[in-house]
A and B are shown apart, each in its own frame.
Chain A
Amino acid sequence: MTMAETKKTDPNEKPRIGVYVCHCGSNIGGFVDVPSVAEYAKTLPDVVYATDNLYTCAEDGLTSIREGIRKHNLNRVVVASCTPRTHAPLFQTTCESAGLNKYLFTFVNIREHCSWVHMKEKEKATLKARDLIKMGVARARLLMPQEEEKVDVEPTGLVIGGGVSGMTAALSLADMGFPVHLVEKEGELGGFVRNLNNLYVTEKSATETIKPLIEKVKASKNVKLHLNSQVKSVEGFIGNYDVVMASKGAEDIKTKVGTIVVATGALEFVPEGLYGYNQYPNIVTLTEFEILCKKKSLPSLKNVAFIQCVGSRGQKVSYCSRICCNVAIKNAINIVDNYENMLGLAEKNGTIIDTVPVEKKVPDEILERRRRRRGRERGEEGEAEEVKLGPSEKIEVTVFNRDVMAYGVEHELTYNKAREHRVKFVRYTPENPPKVFMEGNQLMVSYFHETLKLDRSMPVDMVVLSTPMVPQLDTREMSQMLKVPQGQDGWFLEAHVKLRPVDFATDGIYVCGTCKGPADITEAATQAAAAASRAAIPMAKGYVQAEALTSVVDDIKCSGCGTCIQVCPYGAMRKNDKGLAETIVAACKGCGCCGATCPEMAITMTNYTDAQLLAEAKATLEEV
């Protein structure tokens, strides 16, 4: 038998069910007695094979499914593991590769709906897992093979948000040959980067860096740009989204798109009431500081303090905003090296710092640093004169931090560079944060020096507060309009953090950039390219296979009352020439409204039949 050949499942053939119970490492196995559950599954009606896998979704797990189908001649498969919303396609494809129609597979969720929410009650969780599998088996006994219909995909994309992510995604789609609507609510492209002075690692001007991208987007024939615009409504499903875009002072534009990429970016947290913000002069956020630098309007300063993790990591928000350490280091170096430039004293405008690309210097620098460190360890003298004393003699910069997240090779080097340029890094603990106050006319910072174990204070001219990125204010409305989820902290939530990082659980909608959490430009652009290629797949194929999930009328039971025709939200029911109801399969979306309303119980749904649902309920309610 070849792999692709599908077994002819005779509807009357007795079910031969295989049950695969997953440990998911310790995710399930740690809170549910998995082996005993698999043993229990063997006692259920029509189950001819049951086993447990460490990871059913790993290659050996999938192999055990394929082998089971062949060896035990299984004609129904039940996997009890995580959630069908992320893993059903994988197991369905596996079944198909072993010749089993994918509609003969059933998913039982014993992780999200069991082991993870009953972590302190192993016995009860185990009983529940058994019960859930019993329900799944009851359903599996009644499954029937189904054929899928193909649905055409409109080969046009929609990208929401014109920052780095949105522009990158739109351009990728355009370069692949797909027309794409790019909707930006502001009057200009560029997003948050428009606020920034220069960018870390490259040290190039932010405006100059994104200029080529903006120009390419504007020049692309395939990109239809909608500035000052917002998406007003989205209806439909993968391949066929009806979108209404509203532009300021213009008529609404209606269009049809196949896939949607969400790239709406983030905001900066405003530290109202923290560290004297809005209370004393010269207390700014990182972004405000960048704007001051960019506009070359810094006041004259001798002493600057950065305070890291303001409002983040368990304060106002739980997470670490990832980028603020690198951004603070970047700005600290800017100050000690280029302070005069940002005062507007320097003659030439434009690019602020011109350096050899860092990557070329990496090996040498590392070697050099190691050599010096070893020298120091041996107590050798002589490394001091290698450290050039920069302009920092004129200005003092102190970075108060809980710990510095300068992740990655380049950032660690930048961090070292900052220290070599005599930027001071002083640690604080969350219990004992620095305090900002006024002494007469002088702004002061007092702090507990963790290493010296001493209370210290110092006069400062400016305090820069590193606050986290936070979700856009309209994220909730967007999530409702697009029917996509938000996570605990309000960010858009991907379908699977590891396996599907740029997909939403809803087919045909993808996500990238800072609207799904803090990221820098490199990361945002990487995600955007990924999201664009994901969004391109159905458009390039030209069709998706619609799940076989529609209503079916039993014309023996139907009385022709027409109730279903009235309730169907999609106009997918009509009367046939006998005066009885009939489903228009292409239009039916499978909601089941009609079935639940029909007074004659004449309607059921393919693959979610009344009998299957009732069997599930019965399985759990009957006495064990």
Chain B
Amino acid sequence: MSSEAQPQTTAHATGVKEPDPKILVFCCNWCSYAGADLAGVSRLQMPPYFRTIRVMCSARVDPEFVLRAFQRGADGVLVAGCHPADCHYIGGNYRTRRRIALLKMLIQQFGFDPDRLRLEWVSAGEGEKFQKTIIEFTNTIKELGPSPMARGDE
């Protein structure tokens, strides 16, 4: 597999090469995954650094998943779910909201900027919002630079 290895980098204006950000996106199946699909169907262009994991509900995102992602070097984690009253499973997303608020505090204690974790509501009809969210979040993560985990490794 090593022959396949090529460092994923973006050339900056300064000429300094920074590794591409690694962004993990958890999308609930019913709204946000469908919203991301719609963004695709509408050909809405966005930065190519995020990888989506489909979960049934945003409430499925165990704090453990988020913490492990950061531990393994994720630069940012986005959790996308249905709008407050719209969760396919009666209010799963209310739990998500509380959980993400707590997690933000927790990651801060571990030395991660809380902005590296974001929760966003994206409905099945909101392709544009998905695009906007990805663009904004990618920018935020680029501004924050590589994760402290990654920097520690170097």
Contact = CB atoms under 8 A, between A and B. Distances in A.
B85 A480 contact: yes
A125 B48 CA distance: 6
A480 B91 contact: no
B93 to A, nearest CB: 10
Nearest to A479: B125
Interface in A465-506: 479-480, 483-488, 493, 505-506
Interface string A150-176: 000000000000000000000000000
A333 interface: no
Contacts of A593: 57, 59-60, 89, 92, 95
A114 B4 CA distance: 20
A485 B83 CA distance: 13
A139 B88 CA distance: 24
Interface of B: 1, 4-6, 8, 20, 22, 24, 29-31, 33-46, 48-49, 51-57, 59-65, 68-69, 72-74, 82-83, 85-86, 88-92, 95, 99, 123-125, 127-128, 131
A484 B124 contact: yes
A384 to B, nearest CB: 52
> In this complex, which of B72, B99, B131 has the most chain A Cβ atoms within 10 angstroms of its Cβ?
B72
A362 interface: no
Nearest to A118: B48
A155 B51 CA distance: 41
B42 A488 contact: yes
A506 B6 CA distance: 41
Given A483-B30, A610-B64, A118 B8 contact: no
Interface of A: 40, 43, 83-85, 109, 111-114, 116-121, 124-125, 127-128, 131-132, 135, 235, 479-480, 483-488, 493, 505-506, 549, 567, 569-570, 589-593, 595-597, 601, 605, 608, 610, 613-614, 616-618, 620-624
Contacts of A601: 62, 64
Contacts of A567: 95
A610 B125 contact: no
11 contacts: A112-B37, A113-B37, A114-B48, A117-B39, A128-B51, A493-B38, A549-B56, A567-B95, A601-B64, A621-B69, A622-B72
A131 B4 contact: no
Given A43-B4, A505-B124, A621-B22, A592 B48 contact: no
A43 B1 contact: yes
Given A485-B38, A592-B55, A592-B59, A618 B124 contact: no
Contacts of B4: 40, 43, 624
